[in-house]
């Protein structure tokens, strides 16, 4: 399949990069949020100096740079060549970071049972249910038994309605490539069902809902649980 559908995530200028990363959010606010989320992810996943971790949609590598010194290995995976290039620059002094360009394999070319944990923030919020399931199947394969993965998705809530209306205003006249960068909306029951279908266990009791921005931890079950 052509990589044309991924062109929405390529960029040429710093301004275009920031728009792809955070929409209209100010750069300083974005970086502050990434620093907070890095600490939060480390805590949610129980990362240690021995952990092997992957990130789906690593962007410019800000979170990877914050987390890599705390773990044994971190793999930045992204569909965007331009983002992987700048992630390499961001993490150039971190020898335990490697990089993977996601083609249409949804991570199928990475080795099975090779990661203790993974995360993906503000990425699956752009994917439909089919794509989410394809990725979660690979997450289940990549994680070791007991390994965990945290990500976020969007429901319609007090904060997210404004995002929905913003995309709605331009949806009718948007080009197909442009729509790939728009937001998608999934109820938590749907996302949980997709996780189960992929062979993962969703921690619904620990679900975090920030006014429609929803964070969920998934776990690959131990062999004895199957």
Per the structure, the complete domain to which residue 133 belongs is given by 3-225
| 98 close to 76: Cβ distance less than 8 angstroms | yes
Q: Is residue 9 pLDDT above 90, yes or no?
A: no
Is 168 in contact with 139 (CB distance < 8 Å)?
A: no
Residues 59, 207: Cα–Cα separation, whole Å: 24
CA nearest neighbour of 84 among 144, 11, 154: 11
pLDDT at 181: 86
Q: Kindly report the CATH number assigned to the domain that includes residue 138.
A: 3.40.50.150
CA distances (Å), 183 to each of 1, 92, 149, 172, 178, in order?
22, 31, 21, 14, 11
Per-residue pLDDT reduced to its tens digit, 116-160:
999 999 999 999 999 999 999 999 999 999 999 999 999 999 999
Residue 1's pLDDT is 45
What's the whole-number mean pLDDT along residues 7-12?
Answer: 80
Residue with tokens 């010194």, as numbered in its chain: 69
Task: Give residue 21's pLDDT.
Answer: 84
pLDDT band at 25 (very low <50, low <70, confident <90, very high): confident
Closest CA to 205 of 194, 219, 216: 216
| Structural domains of the chain, count | 1
Q: How far is CA 211 from CA 82, 173, 180, 214, 215, in A?
A: 32, 29, 23, 8, 11
pLDDT band per the 50, 70, 90 thresholds, residue 75: very high
For the stretch 189-205, pLDDT in tens is 999 999 999 999 999 99
């Amino acid at each position: 399949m052509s990589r044309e559908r991924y062109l929405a995530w390529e960029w040429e200028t710093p301004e275009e990069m920031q728009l792809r990363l955070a929409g209209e959010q100010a750069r300083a606010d974005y970086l502050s949020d990434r620093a907070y989320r890095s600490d939060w992810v480390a805590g949610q996943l129980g990362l240690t100096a021995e952990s092997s971790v992957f990130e789906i949609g690593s962007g410019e590598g800000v979170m990877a740079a914050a987390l890599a010194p705390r773990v044994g290995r971190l793999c930045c995976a992204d569909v965007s060549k331009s983002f992987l290039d700048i992630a390499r620059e961001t993490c150039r002094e971190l020898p335990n970071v490697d990089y993977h360009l996601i083609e249409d394999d949804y991570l199928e070319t990475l080795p099975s049972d090779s990661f203790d944990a993974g995360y993906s923030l503000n990425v699956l919020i752009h994917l439909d249910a089919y794509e989410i399931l394809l990725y979660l199947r690979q997450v289940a394969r990549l994680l070791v038994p007991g390994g965990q993965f945290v990500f976020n998705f969007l429901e319609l809530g007090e904060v997210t309605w404004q995002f929905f209306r913003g995309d709605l205003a331009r949806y009718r006249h948007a080009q197909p490539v442009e729509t790939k960068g728009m937001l998608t909306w999934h109820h938590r029951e749907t996302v949980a069902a997709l996780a189960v279908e992929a062979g993962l266990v969703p921690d619904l009791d620990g679900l975090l809902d920030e006014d429609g921005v929803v964070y969920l931890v998934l776990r690959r079950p131990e062999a004895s649980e199957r």
